[in-house]
Amino acid sequence: MHDIEPYYNWRHLYISEEDERSPFFGREHSEFVFSQTVYNYYIHPQWDEFGSRTLYLKLLYTDYDLDFAIIELIGEWNDAIENDIMSLKRDVIDKMIAEGIRKFILIGENVLNFHSSDSCYYEEWIEDVSDDGGWVVMLDMPEQSQYDFRKAHIDNYIELIDYPVWRTVQPQHLFAAIDNKMLRRLNNAG
């Protein structure tokens, strides 16, 4: 796991540690000291801690004009024991919503497990953003984690989408593709 770095090819476009509106503004990372772990496995020091002992993230891109953010995740999403959704919602998402972000693309290909609890924080998240046309999407979550998401009905709040080519496009193009897909789904549902 220590070899898995957050996606870095957009760093010339956005660095969360340099964005004064980011929850991670001013954070410093070591390139050499591995101190964070998911269980007994060290993870790359570029991942950001947000209050969970098993789940870490990297804010890859934020566009305040288009009101969207792209967040990559790694580890085990454990609501049953760690209440990861509460930490994520209160310590990251609420701060981003306060800055006008309404559309969230979560990249979940490194979310190895998901353990559910209740869905109140997911429901709150959607209520916070949907009145302004917002949504939350999870890209490329492993099948077992997707199964557990669906079994707990979290997919009622976070749309699960496979989009394995996300690394080959610029963040604005990724957003446009996902936004169009979400608009089509919402129009078909209504």
Instruction: Tell me the pLDDT tens digit for each residue of 107-130.
Output: 999 999 999 998 999 999 999 999
- Average pLDDT over the chain reads 91
- Mean pLDDT of the 50-58 span: 92
pLDDT at 90 over 70: yes
Give the pLDDT score at 107: 98
**Phi, psi for 107 (deg, rounded to 5):** -100, 115
CATH of 16-189, one of 3.40.50.800, 3.60.15.10, 3.40.50.620, 3.30.750.24: 3.30.750.24
The residue that leads in pLDDT, 175 or 82, is: 175
- Confidence class for position 33, pLDDT limits 50, 70, 90: low
Q: What is the pTM of this model?
A: 0.94
Give the pLDDT score at 190: 56
Who's near 163: CB < 8 A, 6+ residues apart? 139, 140, 174, 177, 178
d(CA 43, CA 74) in angstroms, rounded, equals: 9
Around Cβ 139, how many Cβ atoms within 10 Å?
20
Q: Provide the 8-state DSSP code for 117.
A: -
